[in-house]
Structure 1
Amino acid sequence: MRAVQGEHSTVLRCIEETLRDARYAGRLKAIYLLFCPGALFCGREGWVVLARGLAMGIDNRQIQTAVLADPESDDPVVCPTEPDDLDEFREEFHGTTFWCGVLLGGCGGQLLTRRGNVRVSHFAHFPDPDGLLPQCGRRSPGVASADHLYVRAATQTWLRGQGHTPRYRYLGRDNAPVGSLVEIELGGHTLLLHMDSTAPPDWNAAETGDIILGPGVRVDDHTLARRGYVNRVRFVSEGNQRVMVLGTEIPHMGTDWDFELADCTVDGQGRLITPVVTRLRAARAAEGQSPLPRPRREQEEGPVQIGALTRLINTAVRTKETGAVRQLRDTAALQVPRCEGQALEHLQHAIDHANDWINQQDRARRRLFADLDAAVRHGHVLVVSTLIPQIRKFIQRDEATAQETDILDTADTFLRKARRRAAQQRREADERRATATREREARHAARAEEQNRRHAAEAQEREAQLVTQAHERKARNRARGQVQSITGRLRREELSAAQQEQLVEELVLAAKEAGDLLTTAEQRKVEEWTERLSSPARGQEESETTSPAAQPQQDTITDPAQLPTHLVPAAAAVRGALKKAARERTTTSWNRLEHQLGSALPSLSNNERVQVLVRIDHSTAGDEPLLSSLLAAGDPLFTHQYYRHVLYALGLDAPDDDEDLRDVVKADAEQVFTDWRLR
């Protein structure tokens, strides 16, 4: 024992030395007992190999993201960190495989979910058949490592709703993993998302399209001031998914994230337009209005060419440049005093045309602003959202008054608050629907539980009924056996009148309990003994007139206790075969037994067969059917000629009529099947 304990401690020290760098020394006993219960029979060298295999087969990388169904897939998923959430996650993705995807920078190997008790739950690699983990060059295992794949999930439906057909490419650069750049092609234009700070954007490349910066990607102040704004993107976790959020960075003001993806569009030039970008463009249009067009060969000291001025006015009206029309009209009005004749007529016509168009535009503009102001005051969100784009077309080509600017700012604030309220209402509605769903599921679960309880109660009731019926059948069979035993005693034994009377009373009670289970012959014998007891003189006369030769003659049967030695193994073999037939609910015959048992059952005479069956059933209780009834039911020839001898030898009554005997054998066989069903 001391030697074994010494070897045991040596093995543990060996594992500790091997796994010391793997930080598993504290779990060595658990590993030891779990994997190798017979470890005391291993040598030191075997344990060294085992310990190294364990060290190489334990994945400590704690991977949080994977792709679904295929190593080449771009359908990402995040592993929940809490054990309870992991259980729900496994049920949700039951039957789905997880992979260390190549678009994640992984090895393409299959992953499994590992429940964390001390650490968080995570994905882990499957070891190969040798217990070794695959070589994996994946740089980042965290929840943000699949954000570039969530770009497609977040933007595909949104872009298709605007009439685009997006195509996604996940690119990498030198020293930057795949997915550092996400390129979205939109019919000749490109949105380029920089998802990795190690891949700085090239602002001067013409083919890059509209650049969007991911988390941690910096832009210098000069570039930001030159461009006026930069759009950004980030991801936040919601359950086992990642949700994309857009924002716009403005010089000296930081990044505004206070809008939703549905509030953004992509214009015809492939530019991402956020609410912040829309406001910036409107402000620039108001500040940098179109300059006054001048004739091509204008001289500072020379007079204005009337024909060119007229054409400029007409062109500005045709192109609906409101600010330019105002300035050109004012300039033309200054030239009226120095004009005459046809030139004055053309100039005055252009001025009148400009005034009419400006008045028409002013009326439409005043009507739009009045409608916008009324819609804001009455809280008509849809009207406000429709009027604002129309009004911005006016202020892009003309200067807005202070009153108009106040109305527009008020409308923007109103619309922004309305959208926030709508978003909050949507969230509350989603929460109400989720609550209603949970309550409905709880009601369904309660109903299902009630149904299960009711079904269980019904099943218990049915089982109780079956047990009661089985007990009743067994009692009736027992009563039938008593009837057979009593009639046999009354027929074979010499009994006094008192004994016969007592046995007949017992016979009547047993027959009543057995009921219709008794055969016609058995019922007739009960009636005969009852009538015989009620008329003693007749019974005496019949007894005196009955010849002993009329009684069935029994063959000379050896006492079962004194069965010849050479028949004892045969009796045991036949008993086992009959038990097997009882459990399988089948009958048998001597020919089938000889074929089944082979040398275990030698060829027997009919007298020896009777002795074997008597030995098999001599210990059977009086209220139980005989196992030998299975052989009698399957071998009619043996039944008619010799089975009565088995019954007589066991002290049981056998019907005189062959048809009645077959009914008894059939009923006994069915009862054997019932009694041996669970043995």
Structure 2
Amino acid sequence: MLARGLAMGMDVDTRQIQTAVLAGPGSDDPVVCPTDADELDEFRQDFSGTTFWCGILLGGCGGQLLTRRGYVRVSHFAHFPDPDGLLPECGRRSRGIASADHLYVRTATQKWLRGQGHTPRYRYHEHAEAPAGSLVEIEVGGHTLLLHLNPATPPDWEATTAAEVILGPGVPIDHRTLVRRGYVHRVKFISEGNQRVMVLGTEVPYVGTDWDFDLADCTVDEHGRLITPVVTRWKTARAAAQQAPVPQPRAETPKGPVQIGALTRLIDQAVRCEEGAAVRKLRDTAQLQVPRCEGQALTHLQRAIEHADRWISQQDRTRRQLFDRLEIAVGRGYDRDVSTLILTARELLLNDVAATPQEATVFKAANTLLSEARQRADQKRREADARRAAAARERAVRDAAEAEELMKRRQAQLQEQQEQARVRKERNRARGLVQSILGRLRREHEVLSPEQRQELVEELVLAAAGAGDILSLAEAHKVNEYAERPVAPVEEPEATAPSAQKPERVPELVPVPELHSATLPAHLVPTASAVRGALKKAARERTSTSWSRLEQQLGSALPPLGNEERVQVLVHIDQSAADDEPLLSSLIAAGDPHFSYQYYRRVLAALDLHAPDDDEDLREVVEADAEQVFTDWRSR
């Protein structure tokens, strides 16, 4: 079919496809077509001898592609032409180079994971509202890395069982989830030549995504977690914050001022900088200086003391509220609130006086709660890992069972198809034998002895029974005629008395279908005669033909006819032939498959002959009929 399409010319393909796969439709080895015409020449040299396909994993039709140079548009892949419209419709219209990014995940990560001792397995999932490859699953050591590459498939953070979730370009994550998780990994793809290169990054709250590291700097730990340099720094900072002791006030204390003006300026500066310990110390120093002051200096000093007192009161109120909230969160076991509040409390105490005994008790209880929460989280993670491993094992067993069942069904279907093909071939062979015996009985009826004729008739009836309903109406009538015709007795010197003769066995008759008569219009009778002569000539030369060849051969004797008129002519030719002759129209069907599939079925139906629905089966019938025509006309 492809060869025929190439011979008829290259139709314009409006599907601009930039990506394909190599070697076969089920391949996961992608390639990008260069858009520049000069680069396309080098690309063709590099991949000479390699076939390109509209890959199934790309959401394509599985058809073969070719490279097409662009003069108005960019160079691209294109489907082979399909002049008959028999190939399936392809849905990959105007797909960009990013449509194969999910396949480049394997190209980028397989060698890297194997270098760490892992044996990765890749699965490409489709989503109901997103194209193929929106989700890529990498199984590593019983754990799963799940890549969401399409914004139409945002992850379900609560329901996912993946050890690590990696987001593609534009896949959103809400700020609260990002803060709770601490980080999330992202991937993007850039073009380099005819390949796409994967770049890995890590997004951190309030900071953004850090892309400044290589894949070689990353590892996958025993829990299936992807560890990048950003994650390592984040874990180190978090561990240091969690293990830090209760903050103590700064050791440095400002020295007592000598002048009142300098003292008031230090108080105002400490308040602006929110340095609680310094404000309290300076306030106490200022109160000791009150008895020494008078006049305007005393007024300025008292105003600074009041300013400091108001700030300290507000700071104490904020501090009490913070520790009250922390104590309530600890009492209720809200570990997420505790982890947030304790960081705020640590930062507050760094710039203020030391924690009171009550505050120290709250700190200790908070650290204990967080430690227990981490232990529970680790336990849940281990249990989840165990469940995922068990689910993976069950899935592997289920997949193996389904694969085995599918193989059994395919084997059964194959056996059934082979049996049907065998039966068809036997029936076609039996029909050929019927035609051969009928031809011999017609040609040698004068030289055959009664015994030989009787043997041939018995063989004829058996062959007709094996052929069944694929016999033509004329063939069935002829078989019944020979089966019912008595065999002339052998002449002997003394004829046996009629009463002593044994009755001859009459073979079982073959059922004959009803003949549908059709009259050929008068203006087509000369045409039918000319076509019959040309077909007889082709039969003697043991060659097939076609209607266009007949038009060239017969010239004006064969005027242009419509499809209906062609069918009428052929039906008349084969209906007016001898009853036991094979169909001359089979020579046209054998030489022109298009005619065979479209019109030969109608000729067979008009002659009350069986026409298989399957094109391959019809092809076998045509070949058998044509071969019988050659045999029958060999000596004419």
TM-score (norm: length of structure 2): 0.42
Greater relative contact order (CA < 8 Å, ≥ 6 in sequence): 2
Q: Which has the larger Rg?
A: 1
TM-score (norm: length of structure 1): 0.40
